[in-house]
Structure 1
């Protein structure tokens, strides 16, 4: 399979896929990208067949060596890599674009005056497609030169070499693209829990940084982020999220998987709260 096509109909979008040991997910992700004019796979020294698969598919591969300081993976690409297009789509290896999504890009981008677009994603838990609950959205389609992901002082405490919760700070109007990206996360419960423990540690440390900076530190965040960081330490916040996801957003319609997903997300926010208290007591 080749990602290159001799066609004037290719989408003028550079797809950037940050990876590490994604030999199981990457082939299906790449197979959906034949309509894009450039594919860049940014690898963190995988020791499986990730690089071989990417190169065989015609993607350009670069190796990213994180020093533990700014920038991380996505900002490194935005700051240092020569990309062929003005539009950059950040995609994870377990995310699949659809024809409807590509059609929406083809219709929207040529005349766009926006600097970025919110994208919507399907969500799976324990192998079940979640049709309800809190929608997954990311600002993952960015115009080149419009901005970077948040620069967060995390030297020495973060183990995440890629921007996970950081939000792009863009100078200009932001829109929204129709058509879901299929987030086919089938890694299983153990990996879900391990990943969210790492995320909880990061969120607890970041919360402390933001608290030290006062209200001014929240200025560049989205309204959703500001609400979260203002209330993460409150006892009621995990249960607020549970009720919002399970009842207000009708997560109960997803059956047992919907209940478990809302429960584990509440557990996640409760873990962040306890880590914040524990870190503060240790100082």
Structure 2
């Protein structure tokens, strides 16, 4: 059978534990780019050996960040692009569905949301909170927005947790990608510590939930409602563990719900820390101005 006419982008940095499984699962796709950020391990050599086209991305500390740079700079052969993280694995069922929905892109669709199965603490979770990412894009109709986030001290060159802006219809796929990070839990919590820094920074600036981000169905409304609620940490735990039946996944379901709640707890206290620092800075500036006026 002819390969799927989609250009795949896999972004990496020191992903030798994940990259082989990721790329081997993408063999049905016609074109696979690995865009690396100065890895010091065997990531690039492994990717080249597996047939990927490897490019290096050297971030200059400005926009565009990595995903948008890929849209602008990579020599794609196809109008539809699929973003895959190195710790994500394609399934045959999802690949077949992507092939089947390509006529919708030819008719003007802008993007498709991909649902995820999550492997946590070695167990594939069948229940609980489910992530959807707008990962299948019409490249000429898509853009990753430039958030005011260059001052986030511990963030990096990849865009944060938000969906791109697209022109045209968006829809959700039924088949799932598998998120299965073979790195340690230290790596997981380190990433989410950085993500919570990023989100706290944007909350302090009032920049969360940009209406230009693409969403499907009622997700945009539900996200706005959740972001406006107090006590997000316990609410997120109850949502994942109780309402979404995470308890049926046993200990791993509980641990995942706790980890998700802890993420929102981090965001809250970091937001409060930033707000206090901003108020203190404003008070200092006001005192300086008042002193100069005397």
Q: Tell me if TM exceeds 0.5.
A: yes
* Residues 132 and 254, structure 1, Cα contact 8 Å, conserved in 2: yes
Shift of 1:99: 1.2
Structure 2 CA distance for aligned equivalents of residues 118 and 208 of structure 1:
28
* CA distance, structure 2, for counterparts of residue 15 and residue 240 of structure 1: 36
The one of 180, 184, 187 equivalent to 2:183 is 187
Alignment partner, residue 81 of structure 1: 74
Which of 222, 227, 230 is the equivalent residue of 2:228?
A: 230
Q: Could you tell me which runs of 5 or more consecutive residues in structure 1 were left unpaired when the two chains were aligned.
A: 1-6
Deviation at 1:170, TM superposition (A): 0.3
Q: Report whether the alignment pairs 1:209 with 2:209.
A: no
| 1:4 equivalent in structure 2 | none
Q: What residue is the counterpart of 1:262 in the other structure? A: 257
Render the CA deviation track for 1:185-237: whole Å, top value 9, x for unaligned: 232322222211111111100112225x9xxx732244144334434xx2x22
Aligned residues: 269
Matched, 1:219 2:211: yes
Q: What is the DSSP-based 3-state SS (H/G/I as helix, E as strand, rest coil) of the residue aligned with 1:91? A: strand
How many angstroms does 1:38 deviate by? 0.7
Instruction: Point out the more displaced range, 26-35 or 86-95.
Output: 26-35
Q: 1:237 to 1:225 in 2, by over 3 A?
A: same
Deviation of 1:79 after TM superposition, in Å, equals 1.7
Tell me which residue corresponds to 2:290.
none
Q: Distance in 2 between matches of 1:271 and 1:117?
A: 30
Residue aligning to 2:102: 109
How do 1:145-164 and structure 2 match up within 5 A? 145-158=140-153, 159-164=155-160
| Aligned partners of 1:210 and 1:218 also within 8 Å | no
Local SS of the residue matching 1:197: helix
* 1:26–1:50 contact (8 Å) kept in structure 2: yes
How far apart, in 2, do the equivalents of 1:13 and 1:153 lie? Answer: 31
**Larger C-alpha radius of gyration, 1 or 2?**
2
Q: How far 1:111 sits from its partner (Å)?
A: 4.8
Deviation readout 1:233-260 (Å, 9 max, x if unpaired):
x2x2211111111111011111111112
Q: 2: CA distance between counterparts of 1:64 and 1:267?
A: 32
Unpaired runs of 5+ residues, structure 2, are: 279-294
The Cα shift of 1:45 comes to 0.3
User: Aligned with 1:270: secondary structure?
Assistant: helix
User: Deviations 1:119-147 (Å, cap 9, x if unpaired)?
Assistant: 01110111111110011210000012112
Alpha-carbon shift at residue 95 of structure 1 (Å): 1.1
Q: State the distance in 1 between where 2:130 and 2:65 align.
A: 26
- Distance in 1, matches of 2:117 and 2:104, equals 27
In the superposition, the TM-score normalised over structure 2's length comes to: 0.86
| 1:122 counterpart SS class | strand
Alpha-carbon distance change, 31 to 218 in structure 1, aligned in 2, over 3 angstroms: closer
